[in-house]
Chains A and B, each alone.
Chain A
Amino acid sequence: MRVLRIRLAIALVSMSTIGLELALMRALSLRFWSHFAYMVIGVALLGFGASGTMLSLLRSKILGRPDRWMWPLTLSFALSVLVVPRAAQLVPLNVRFLAWNPGQVVYVLLVELLMLVPFFLAGAVVGIALMDQPDRISGHYAANLIGSGLGAALIVLAMYHLTTGQLFTALAAGGYVAAALLVPWGRPRAAVWPVLAAGVIVLLAWLAPWEPALSQYKTLSYLKSFPGTKTILRAEGPLGRIDVVEGPAVRQEPALSFRYEKELPPGVVLVLDGEQASPVYQWSRAEDWAFMDYTTQAAAFHVCRERPRVLVVGAGGGTDIGLALYHRSAAVVALEMNPQVIAAMTGPLRERGGNIYLADSVEVINQEARGYLATTDRRFDVIQVPPIGAFGASGAGLYATRESYLYTVESFETMLDHLSEDGVLCLTRWGWTPPRDELRAFHMLAEALRRRGLGPATRLAMIRYFTTPNPTVTILAFKRALTPRQTRTLQTFCQDRNFGRCWLPDLAPTEVNEFHELPRPYYFEAAKELLGPGRDAYLSAYPFEITAVTDDRPYFFQTFRWRALPMLARQARGRGPAHLPLGYLMSVVAVGQGILVAAALILLPLLVRIQSLRSARRRAAVFAYFLALGLGFMLLEMGFLQKLILYLSHPIYSAAAVIASFLVFSGLGSQFSRHWKTRPKRVVAAAATVIIIISLAYSLVLDGWLGLTQAQPIALRFLVACATIAPLAFAMGHMFPTGLRQVGKDQPGLVPWAWAVNGFTSVVATVATPLLAAEVGFGVVILTATVCYAAAGIASRWVTEG
């Protein structure tokens, strides 16, 4: 009975721990613009690793009376799940200020140290159970795996029904029940009051819900500071939180030409995760959308056939659907990835939005663009890709380490394939001075056309509008070369609206840089270079990274170049920090701090055992083995996390599938590792070989394999993702415990060091992988992981010798 209670408690703690990782990603996404998945996973590993070090140092004390330790640690875990998010919110970390004030890194460290606490406690609970009853390790381990797997799946389901604040309370409740199970109720005296008090706290937390605060610099915070602003709707889900606000001063106008002087229809503003704002207008006739004809993206409708068939990527509040309706489109297919947005626009906001999602000739589909285009044969006359990502956050580089499979060359090729013969792909980005990702988009569209055997110089047009606080640049890519009539139409379109022409066939240098003067005609000059034979040299010399991004390295928003740093420092007139991408900076800070903190908490405490290290044999081989395993494992896991975002449409789904699968199947592999009837040396060699073969095979065929089921519902894709990871993780699970068992037999003094080295490199690899992937792509990440396992395979020769 006691064993059953312990296993239930382990399962609950494990479930709550994995759920906590995903809940923290949501909370960070709300506060800081990015889910910082790698920071959360790195901190979790840091907590587990630090608990392992602590347990190895206090082993004799703990094993004397494990009962005395387990329930208090579990209860502390439960309370920490409630306390830590609230405490982290009090840390005055201002990500926006990071580039100007390096002192902010201290606050980053503080947030990381706070987040580490519950993982440290959870790791200690599970570790004590495993240490205390080695003959029951298999069952305890199975409980750990089952709990972890369930936690990943259940938390995603829970996100549909609970707010972020409620998620933390539910996870704390899981930990609390685990603590109650571990109390020695036969002799409960010391436990009664703490357990009761903790129960009251958890209950109060549920009754008095807390919600994570948004950064004061987010759009929603700003809108809510206006007099009379009211929130009329709020909904949460795995893909984000939506808030809908209205008020006399609340307006979120598109980047309209100032030539349009009339009032816009009444409306409200729909905000996603506190930042990306989308106006929702109350309209009744197509003519009410006339104002949208004064945006740069309206250009496509002036040069396409009459009554076009339109695909809108990102329906949002419906403005691009409205633009299509204004131009009497025959059919409008609008893609919206977030089911909460669709539910809002077809439910509580139906009338406010003039029923735009339900209008005749409009079909709204809950799917992201790549998935939809992979499953349809339809052809469109206009494919409209409006600017995705909030202007301010985009400019501050907060999306720099965010993957985007919408903005890759392969994605643009797919869109071109779905154009009718007279069709036009219309892509709009925010405009910057000097230009950055908008030039990248131009270059990538040119590249996509070239890959399709179509000359880009006569098939591209670029226009801009800069007399607005949110400048826009629209690039049009045509299947057929522009006709003189289309060119004249675009010229007139621009003239009537004060839009600048940046690239058209036969555009003269004297015709550019009009209406809104830039210091140089950047766009025209760049377009000329990027369409000419010297584009490689131009790309190399450009101060920002604007080379084409592919599915292998889908970091469209990462435009920073280290080489530009000295020039920024010299020439920026003190404004250099304004050009540093904050998302990228946060990743760099996370790597630096990860290394230092992991060394301090995992490696340094073991110096008290330095003597055991000095006297050990083959320590270099042991270190190399466990170091390579730590690196290889996390590189593969993080690589898959990134890769599966395209297949599963969103980082949260990908994180859930990857974390659950790697934990469960590598855990199963660990269990099986002792049952093979062969020498450990052969087990490790076989496992390493299988890992290398599967990794190399996946690097060649994974995209094709996943593409077969891209069209299927998310639940099925989730299972396919788990099944794809299963054989690889199963093999990966063999090497660590087999090596550790052997070290434990031959040189027990090295065991804590092996744990520590492995834990240290796991943390570093986790936080470093996004930077690595952004620089060199997933293919190289997978290859590096494969090399690590090969190195471990070689080192195992000395580790597994009897």
Chain B
Amino acid sequence: MTGQGSRKGRPLGWFGRLACVAVVGALAVAAVAIYRADSAPVPKAEPDKWSPPQFAARQSERDAMVRTIRRYGLSDKAVLKAMAAVPRHEFVPAGRSRMAYADTPLPIGHGQTISQPYMVAEMTRLLKLTSKSKVLEIGTGSGYQAAVLTQFTKHVYSVEIIKPLADAAAARLKRLGYTPATVRHADGYHGWKEEAPFDAIIVTCATGRIPPPLIKQLKPGGRMVIPLGAPFAVQSLMLVEKGKDGKVRSRSLMAVQFVPLTRQKKSE
């Protein structure tokens, strides 16, 4: 039978055709927008308008990690909140992802490590950051420490001398939305003169002496934290403080409280 009858097999009417064109057009516009957004330089978020990204994935593991840190005696709420917010698993190599929230440093390649979570928290706590603090990190590594620092201040500058690490960290921080952290591939010995002085500095890889440029770039009243020891064997932290008078004082902070193995009679 032909002619009028069932609608089956009839081509789209004018409305349907219009709808198809509209959908295709919208898809095309969206594709172009995504492409342009990906390739266009991301403007540095205006400090006042940026807020830390949120990540739901593996939150329970992060909470467990924070409970471990708290058991070690670190009770600073702001630091614990920051540790709970930053997705450490995004900063470790894929092959180590399972161990991302374990209480251990992890290798990230090129002879570098991502520090044990407790050490990251402790170093962050020692810096005593405020929202106005300007902080310099020498040795970006994976970018994890830098991401944690952005939870406190939007003025984070990080230097990494190993190019593959610098590039990867920069891309990772951008992808995750930690745009207040600026990463530069350079020799950290010279600090970051253009942005100096800094309220706080973390130095994760130095030998011989604290680079004099870094001491110069530390503000009076500022704090510098340096972990001491080899990769995987950081045994203590050094805190360097520059007084208001410009004088430098330092002290060692151990993460281990050693006690004698046997009871000793007090001689006095």
B161 in contact with A571 (CB, 8 Å): no
CB-defined contacts of A251 to chain B, threshold 8 Å: 189, 207-208
- What is the minimal beta-carbon distance from A359 to any residue of chain B, in angstroms? 24
Contact with B along A200-226 (1 / 0, CB 8 A): 000000000000000111100110011
- B interface residues with partner A (beta carbon < 8 Å): 68, 72-73, 99, 103-105, 107, 109-111, 116, 118-119, 161-163, 185, 187, 189, 203, 206-210, 212, 215, 226, 228-236, 238, 240, 248-262, 264, 267
A567 in contact with B261 (CB, 8 Å): yes
* Contact residues of A: prevailing secondary structure: loop
Query: Chain A: which residue is nearest B190 at the CB level?
Result: A249
B255 in contact with A96 (CB, 8 Å): no
Residue A574 contacts which of B72, B163, B226, B262 (CB distance < 8 angstroms)?
Answer: B72
- What is the minimal beta-carbon distance from A10 to any residue of chain B, in angstroms? 44
Bound-state CA distance A567–B259 (Å) is 8
Query: Chain A: which residue is nearest B230 at the CB level?
Result: A392
The 4 closest A-B CB pairs, nearest first, are: A253-B208, A392-B230, A517-B251, A541-B260
A573 in contact with B250 (CB, 8 Å): no
Residue A469 contacts which of B187, B228, B253 (CB distance < 8 angstroms)?
Answer: B228
Q: List 13 A-B contacts (CB under 8 A).
A: A96-B230, A217-B230, A222-B111, A254-B208, A257-B209, A392-B229, A397-B233, A433-B228, A433-B235, A516-B251, A543-B259, A573-B72, A578-B235
Bound-state CA distance A224–B264 (Å) is 50
In chain A, positions 451-479 with a C-beta closer than 8 Å to chain B are 466-471
Interface size class of A (residues with CB under 8 A): 35 or more
Q: Given A96-B231, A572-B256, does the pair A227, B163 have CB atoms closer than 8 Å?
A: yes
Contact with B along A552-576 (1 / 0, CB 8 A): 0000000001011001100111111
Q: Given A542-B260, A543-B260, does the pair A575, B116 have CB atoms closer than 8 Å?
A: yes
A96 in contact with B256 (CB, 8 Å): no
A395 in contact with B229 (CB, 8 Å): yes
Query: Chain A: which residue is nearest B163 at the CB level?
Result: A227
Residue B209 contacts which of A221, A248, A258, A393 (CB distance < 8 angstroms)?
Answer: A258
The answer to whether the Cβ of A45 comes within 8 Å of any Cβ in the partner chain is no
A537 in contact with B256 (CB, 8 Å): no
- What is the minimal beta-carbon distance from A150 to any residue of chain B, in angstroms? 40
CB-defined contacts of B189 to chain A, threshold 8 Å: 249, 251
Query: Chain B: which residue is nearest A398 at the CB level?
Result: B230
Bound-state CA distance A468–B203 (Å) is 11
A543 in contact with B252 (CB, 8 Å): no
- What is the minimal beta-carbon distance from A524 to any residue of chain B, in angstroms? 15
CB-defined contacts of B210 to chain A, threshold 8 Å: 258, 467-469
- What is the minimal beta-carbon distance from A136 to any residue of chain B, in angstroms? 54
A216 in contact with B109 (CB, 8 Å): yes
In chain A, positions 398-418 with a C-beta closer than 8 Å to chain B are none
CB-defined contacts of B99 to chain A, threshold 8 Å: 101
Bound-state CA distance A397–B99 (Å) is 24
Bound-state CA distance A470–B118 (Å) is 22
Q: Given A97-B232, A561-B261, A571-B259, does the pair A255, B187 have CB atoms closer than 8 Å?
A: no
B209 in contact with A466 (CB, 8 Å): no
Bound-state CA distance A519–B252 (Å) is 7
Q: Given A467-B248, A519-B253, does the pair A564, B187 have CB atoms closer than 8 Å?
A: no
A100 in contact with B232 (CB, 8 Å): yes
The answer to whether the Cβ of A391 comes within 8 Å of any Cβ in the partner chain is yes
Bound-state CA distance A94–B105 (Å) is 13
Q: Which of A225, A254, A393, A574 has the most CB of B within 10 A?
A: A574
In chain A, positions 297-337 with a C-beta closer than 8 Å to chain B are none
- What is the minimal beta-carbon distance from B11 to any residue of chain A, in angstroms? 62
Q: Given A258-B210, A467-B250, A541-B262, does the pair A249, B229 have CB atoms closer than 8 Å?
A: no
Residue A256 contacts which of B208, B228, B248 (CB distance < 8 angstroms)?
Answer: B208
The answer to whether the Cβ of A579 comes within 8 Å of any Cβ in the partner chain is yes
B68 in contact with A574 (CB, 8 Å): yes
Bound-state CA distance A462–B258 (Å) is 22
Q: Which of A99, A248, A395, A471 has the most CB of B within 10 A?
A: A395
- What is the minimal beta-carbon distance from B106 to any residue of chain A, in angstroms? 8
**Given A396-B229, A519-B252, A540-B262, 13 extra CB contacts under 8 A:** A216-B109, A217-B111, A249-B161, A257-B209, A258-B212, A395-B233, A396-B230, A432-B236, A434-B258, A467-B210, A470-B208, A543-B260, A579-B235
